[in-house]
Structure 1
Amino acid sequence: MSIHKSDIKKVTTHQLQTMKDRGEKISMLTAYDYSMAQLIDGAGVDIILVGDSASNVMAGHETTLPITLDQMIYHASSVIRAVSRAFVVVDIPFGSYQGNSSEALRSAIRIMKESGAHSVKMEGGAEIKESVIRVLSAGVPVMGHLGLTPQSIYKFGTYAVRAKEKEEADKLIADAKLLEECGCYAIVLEKIPADLAKRVSEEVNIPTIGIGAGPHTDGQVLVMHDMLGITKEFKPRFLRQYADVGSMITEAVGNYVKDVKSKDFPNEKESY
């Protein structure tokens, strides 16, 4: 189903809160370029995340750590030019906000000014409190991110489910409440037990958006390349693949190569 231009109403933080309050689930997907963002926006997704997952799916890095602020701004600018309705959130990349609230503010302002994005996302709880407060004080909306935080992957040493033990679960709940108190408008919960995600979603008033966090969060997010079957090697339990676009592309390109080699393309009708 595509959305007609006349029906477009820009999604805002206020609308996202209203959606939680009335029990309407929030849909969120990643995009990193103009063409894909246009398709996703046209299909009616509420939030587009310009994720630092671009480091993996666009640049081929093993982790999200190598991507730079300049590269994130480039991807975000491309997405913003395509979007009519969705709320666009941009990850502040690793090393651009941790431990230095002044740098966090500079990074957030650069993203907002140079890309035209609507919000930034930051990973962590109490550890990044000062940075979150500083960014929010400048009027920049902040989405939090708790649970499995990929920018800290070398600290975790694994992409396994987080917060299974009581101590880590209690900290996650405390961090979620802290992020709400600071003024974050939403929190991503990644790869945590469904029961814990349910508890967090009930105990904070702001929307929660899950990825591998069960059905009780206020919304869901997936990486677009994963749910479309473009990335072949990544098949975690939480991923539902909605299409096998990767195979379609391989087949189409194979047919093109065959037609060029056999001199079938271009034919007379395709020539001037």
Structure 2
Amino acid sequence: MRNIFLFIRRYFNFLFFLALQALSLYFLFRYNRFHEAAFMGVASEITGRINERYQTVTEYFKLKKANAELVRENVDLREKLRSNYQPADTLHTIVVDSIRVDSLFKYQKYHYMDAAVVGNFLTTQNNFMTIHRGADQGVKVDMAVIGPTGVVGRVVNVSANFSTVMTMLSRQFKVDAKLKNSGERGTISWDGISPQYVQMRNVPKNVKIARGDSVLTSELSSIFPANIMVGVVDTFQNDPSSNFYTLRLKSATNFSVVQYVYVVQNSQAAEQLQLESATKKTNE
């Protein structure tokens, strides 16, 4: 203890100088938007590089489970491809509002980009992960992120080669969802308790619900494609004072083992959001 006091006394001026520098930098980045944005970009880049090195070591021990997920996903993709390329029905005229992507007049609204997870945080109330894709690869804020088994989150910050994703295990995360069997919609959120479970709220009590029912993303989301797995019903609360159920869902994504994700771009999101914003202004 005596040595500590002697050290502080000897280098007091220098330590005081460092404290003032730290305080000044805090105020600079906290109250100046330009410097704050620059700091966040640099911090994301540095953190991403560090997490990438760490992840290289740890991901080797998870290869078996990752390979099993990839095999299941490949089977699912093959099934989808078979149904997507059926011959056209010449008795009907199909009107679409999307982007044509091939000579068979197929249209694609969503575009997918694979990304490696290089950082994953699970112990806070607002968890996030870092992925090795950034602005240079076309990632933008508010793009959806899904995994081999279901919803992961959405992009909230982007640097040149890395992005941070607010996961479903964040109290700030919300997404519209629906029960697969009935189509009844509700809102997905997290209560901050267990990383294995999320909640679905605002489900009317006249809807028949059973344990094990699947919950998918709904068509109302401008970010996520419809019918992406969110989870399955584990339990539901019947509050006599409310007309709605609160469902407890087992998350389709196991956030403790996810290593690869897909960033999803909705090519029509900007058009939809711009139109909705203009309509809101008109109604004000």
TM range (shorter): under 0.3
Please state which structure has a larger fraction of its residues in helix.
Answer: 1
After TM superposition, the score normalised by the length of structure 2 is 0.22
TM-score norm. by structure 1 comes to: 0.23
Higher share of residues assigned strand: 2
